[in-house]
Amino acid sequence: MPTLPDVPTEVRTPRLLLRAPRPEDAPALHAAVQASLPELRRWMVWAQEPLDLPGTVENLRAAAARFAERENLRYHVWNAEGTELIGSSGYHALDWRVPKAEIGYWIASAHNGRGYATEVARALTELGLLSPQAGGLGLRRIEIRCDRRNKRSARIPQALGYRLDATLINDAVAADNPAELRDTLVFSITQSG
């Protein structure tokens, strides 16, 4: 196993605070998910059967442990003051041997249309590509994947200079309809060593 870089537990953007998960965030996360279910269910498998509040606490305990082990680096997205949860993002599907990761994101429905997902993905892309010596993760490849029908999500990697590597036809079951297959867009940004 390669030596893993230090990973900041907080990342700031001009308008946002990205913070590693904490069990005490459960009420805010649960409320944001519940308020956003109509939109989230269209795209997210996990939103089909959302967790109750005790389940959210347990989920956050596990997420904090995975963050500490650098297995999955989830960040909750807060306003700059850290008082209102806006969404969630992070590095998933990590493979430190390459090293590479996938950035995922969702923004609570009340905060859509303000450019927050792009701001978050930009910050995580920059941190991911930055060398460990400069405080980054030193990733060589970052992917963003989304359902082909999710035009809003697909605009984000395009705006950040990612290239479309592939359209995976019939790649997964649609999040909102297990009788329907979906196509997955795979965007990436890479850097040489």
Edge to edge, what strands does the sheet with 85-95 contain? Answer: 10-12, 16-19, 73-79, 85-95, 100-107, 141-147, 177-190, 163-174
What share of the chain has pLDDT > 90, as a percent?
A: 96
**How many CB atoms sit inside 10 A of residue 31's CB?**
14
The whole-number average pLDDT for the span 27-49 is 95
* Whether 157 contacts 187, CB under 8 Å: yes
Q: And the tokens for 87? A: 């969404």
**10-190 has which CATH code?**
3.40.630.30
| DSSP conformation class of 36 | H
Single-letter residue type at 17: L
What's CA 7's distance to the chain center, in Å? 15
Condensed to tens digits (0 to 9), the pLDDT of residues 61-114 reads 999 999 999 999 999 999 999 999 999 999 999 999 999 999 999 999 999 999
- Spell out the domain ranges in the chain: 10-190
* Structure tokens given for 45: 């498998």
Using the predicted structure, report yes or no on whether residue 193 has a pLDDT greater than 80: no
The pLDDT value given to residue 2: 75
| Cβ atoms within 10 Å of 74's Cβ, excluding its own | 20
Using CB atoms within 10 A of its CB, is residue 54 exposed (0-12), middle (13-18) or buried (19+)? exposed
What does the alpha-carbon distance between residue 63 and residue 61 come to, in Å, rounded to a whole number? Answer: 5
